[in-house]
Chain A
Amino acid sequence: MMDRIAGLGRLGLAIIASFGRSGQFLFGVLAGVPRPATGFPLLVKQLYAVGVLSLAIVVVSGLFIGMVLGLQGYTILSDYGSESAIGQMIALTLVRELGPVVTALLFAGRAGSALTAEIGLMKATEQLSSMEMMGVDPLRRVVAPRLWAGFLAMPVLAMIFSVVGIYGGMLVGVEWLGVFEGSFWGNMQSSVDFVDDVLNGFIKSVVFGFVCAWIAVYQGYDCVPTSAGISSATTKTVVYSSLAVLGLDFVLTAVMFGDF
């Protein structure tokens, strides 16, 4: 019995310690002001790897999710004779929730796991150590550009996701099921508010981008430098990022939209 309680205590301490380590790690990454001359090309390279290469999956998923929303929304709304509200439904769902959340989940799976594996492999092959021995801080040289790239790319991807999703919904609703285009856009415009909906969704995606990138680079940097360690770190990145995104989404939604 006492052993179990002690075990629980140890687990708690380990969790707190890992939070502390990741916080320290974050501080180490962000503390150094990057030199623009060397930092910028590195950032651009990572933006390409993290952002541009995730574009395909984000666009395709966005299109399909928008189309599904259009179909489902039409089926339900037409029972009440208000299928013209479909534009509003699609836009609000995408801009407030699905855009940031689904993009973050895709991002964790596509870019986050790649970041973890890449940094983990650099650790396993002693590239990080050798960089350190050359007097170059790997936190600034390797980790910081990746963290910033994730942070910047995520909102861009989420916005693109929402737009493509709305377009997909319009494709199904207007072009296929014959909802009048004017009421599609009109209902949408009268119910979607720029600050309350679009901007809050944007803030969500910024937060998610930061959290996903942080988890990914931390798991890579902190992994056990063996093949088993890298694979478990990659899994952890996806699991923790997904959980963090969904949990944070609830908190953010409660704060942003909870009061009406």
Chain B
Amino acid sequence: MESSAYIRLRDVVFSRSGRRIFDGISLDIPKGKVTAIMGPSGTGKTTLLRLIGGQLRPDSGQVSVAGHDVPRLKRKALYQLREKMGMLFQSGALFTDLSVYENVAFPLRAHTSLPEDMIRDIVLMKLEAVGLRGARKLMPSELSGGMTRRVALARSIALDPELIMYDEPFAGQDPIAMGVLVKLIRDLNSSMGLTSVLVSHDVPESLSICHYACIIADGKVIGEGTPEELRAHPSERVQQFLEGKPDGPVPFHYPSGDAAADFGVGGLSS
């Protein structure tokens, strides 16, 4: 496993506006597998993807992708590396002034000088892969949330990347759209041999497609392993997260003072 790690994080520390988001996190993401990174909201899962993509630099520690030390890459090398990465944003992030077709063609036009008919073939192929070949003339504003994400997915695989990162692909989707996305992620991974990183807090969907998962909380990895290993994990916090219990090691109450004093009940005795 150590040898086939595609992405490797070592003791990454990152803080933003005074708050420490990652406190020495270490993580290996294997090549050619689907890895799910899960954790409660606000633990910096999206930040983790941005660190991998080189949009943010860690305060200390190492981030390496395919053997490149991302934070130390020069601008040009970083942009070249990004051509091998695809990223699916939470909102889809389609360019609102371009049609579906042009959105998918965008990375091709930007990075290749293919003739127009070849671009057309590739775009239609990618749209076919996500089942939206018929929607190529629509504008992003005419798409439903699930379709937006599928178009964005087609766009992120347009250049046949080695790595694809999904940022909360299931958030806010209806069950059918969610099922479609689960199927797409799994199919893409097996048919194209992609390394997939999936950030999510939808436990059942994530565990159903990933080969490997890790759970982050409070800037640290609190549990990792295959889905089976995680389900049998001894840590209470892992179990609380996986089963969605309202109270446990992560308390129901935000840290607060004495309730009696707040409600003014304690004042009677004084």
Which stretch of A13-21, A134-142, A173-181, A226-234 is in the interface? Answer: A134-142
**Interface size of B as a range:** 20 to 34
Q: Is the CB of A130 within 8 A of B82?
A: no
Do A126 and B91 form a contact, CB below 8 Å, given A133-B53, A135-B83?
yes
Q: Is the CB of A130 within 8 A of B109?
A: no
* Option from A121, A125, A127, A134 in Cβ contact (under 8 Å) with B82: A134
How far in angstroms is the closest Cβ of chain A from B98? 10
**Interface size of A as a range:** 10 to 19
Does residue B90 face the partner (Cβ distance < 8 Å to A)? yes
Does residue B44 face the partner (Cβ distance < 8 Å to A)? no
Q: Is the CB of B96 within 8 A of A130?
A: no
B96 / chain A contacts, CB cutoff of 8 Å? 121-122, 125, 127
Mask: chain B, 100-112; 1 = CB below 8 Å from A; 0 = not? 0000001101110
Does residue A196 face the partner (Cβ distance < 8 Å to B)? no
Task: Specify the chain A residue showing the minimal Cβ separation from B113.
Answer: A37
A133 / chain B contacts, CB cutoff of 8 Å? 53, 55, 82, 85-87
A126 / chain B contacts, CB cutoff of 8 Å? 89-91, 93
How far in angstroms is the closest Cβ of chain B from A37? 9
Do A132 and B111 form a contact, CB below 8 Å, given A126-B89, A127-B95?
no
* Option from B79, B83, B93, B111 in Cβ contact (under 8 Å) with A130: B93
Q: Is the CB of B110 within 8 A of A135?
A: yes
Question: CA A135 – CA B109 in complex, angstroms?
Answer: 12
Does residue A190 face the partner (Cβ distance < 8 Å to B)? no
How far in angstroms is the closest Cβ of chain A from B99? 15
B53 / chain A contacts, CB cutoff of 8 Å? 132-133
Does residue B80 face the partner (Cβ distance < 8 Å to A)? yes
Which residues of B2-38 have CB atoms within 8 Å of chain A's CB atoms?
none
Does residue A61 face the partner (Cβ distance < 8 Å to B)? no
Q: Is the CB of B111 within 8 A of A125?
A: no
A38 / chain B contacts, CB cutoff of 8 Å? 109-110
A141 / chain B contacts, CB cutoff of 8 Å? 110
* Option from A121, A134, A137 in Cβ contact (under 8 Å) with B106: A134
Question: CA A122 – CA B53 in complex, angstroms?
Answer: 19
Mask: chain A, 112-152; 1 = CB below 8 Å from B; 0 = not? 00000000011001110111111111000100000000000
How far in angstroms is the closest Cβ of chain B from A129? 7
Q: Is the CB of B79 within 8 A of A125?
A: no
How far in angstroms is the closest Cβ of chain B from A47? 15
A122 / chain B contacts, CB cutoff of 8 Å? 95-96
Q: Is the CB of B107 within 8 A of A136?
A: yes
Q: Is the CB of A132 within 8 A of B82?
A: yes
Question: CA A135 – CA B84 in complex, angstroms?
Answer: 9
Question: CA A90 – CA B8 in complex, angstroms?
Answer: 70
Do A132 and B83 form a contact, CB below 8 Å, given A38-B109, A127-B95?
no
Q: Is the CB of B55 within 8 A of A135?
A: no
A137 / chain B contacts, CB cutoff of 8 Å? 79
A130 / chain B contacts, CB cutoff of 8 Å? 87, 89, 93, 152
By a beta-carbon cutoff of 8 Å, the part of chain B in contact with chain A is 50, 53, 55, 79-80, 82-83, 85-87, 89-91, 93-96, 106-107, 109-111, 152, 155-156, 159
Q: List 26 A-B contacts (CB under 8 A).
A: A38-B109, A38-B110, A122-B96, A125-B96, A126-B91, A129-B50, A129-B55, A130-B87, A130-B152, A131-B95, A132-B53, A132-B55, A132-B82, A133-B85, A133-B87, A134-B106, A134-B107, A134-B111, A135-B79, A135-B82, A135-B107, A135-B110, A135-B111, A136-B106, A136-B107, A141-B110
Q: A130-B87, A141-B110 are in contact. List 17 more A-B contacts (CB 8 A).
A: A38-B110, A122-B95, A126-B91, A127-B96, A129-B50, A129-B55, A130-B89, A130-B93, A132-B53, A133-B87, A134-B83, A134-B156, A135-B79, A135-B82, A135-B83, A135-B110, A136-B107
